[in-house]
Amino acid sequence: MNYIKDMRKFIGHDTLFTVGCGVIVEQNKCILLQHRTDEDNWCIPGGVMELGETFEETAKRETLEETGLVVHRLELFGIYSGEDCFVQYPNKDKVYSVQVIFKTKDYEGVLRQTGLESKGHRFFRKEDLPENLNPRQKQFILHWVEERNFPVIS
């Protein structure tokens, strides 16, 4: 089932409302980021919730699909909404996506590059983050840098 493709048949390029879930994977005070091919920027692993999934199931599935890592013991980091959650893709599709973000230090597996969505993955220290962060994720990546220890609701 591909909910987004099915809905696009009805609404074309108009704005589609989705829920995105992502995971801040930490290792030795570093954050895992992936270099996206579509917008040539860096973001955390994550993606869109499928019908019937929980937030946590979505975050775990997307992280595994994009990185090869199995994440455990997810903690809610924040829920993000507002103007920064709008995007128009190069193909003219428009999306508004509320973001549910988790964090964890507990994971297993070998980091691997899969699929066409990203060029690669890398752990970054807070002081060495790339300048071209995904604009829709920059806010919560910077909240991670600030070491916010409570769920952020924006």
pLDDT of res. 1: 53
Among candidates 144, 133, 106, which has minimal Cα distance to 30? 144
Backbone angles phi, psi at 76, to 5 degrees: -65, 125
Among candidates 3, 30, 28, which has minimal Cα distance to 17? 3
Cα distance between residue 21 and residue 99, in whole Å: 6
pLDDT of res. 150: 72
Among candidates 149, 148, 136, 72, which has minimal Cα distance to 105? 72
Cα distance between residue 95 and residue 104, in whole Å: 27
Instruction: Provide the 10 A C-beta neighbour count for residue 15.
Output: 13
Contact (CB, 8 A) for 52 and 145: no
| Structure tokens that stand for 142 in this block | 């910077």
CATH topology of domain 3-153: Nucleoside Triphosphate Pyrophosphohydrolase (3.90.79)
pLDDT of res. 109: 94
Domain boundaries, the chain: 3-153
pLDDT of res. 118: 75
What pTM does this model have?
Answer: 0.91
Give per-10-residue mean pLDDT for the chain (154 aa): 85 96 97 90 94 96 94 96 89 94 96 77 96 92 88 75
pLDDT of res. 152: 76
Cα distance between residue 72 and residue 133, in whole Å: 25
pLDDT of res. 84: 86
Contact (CB, 8 A) for 79 and 100: yes
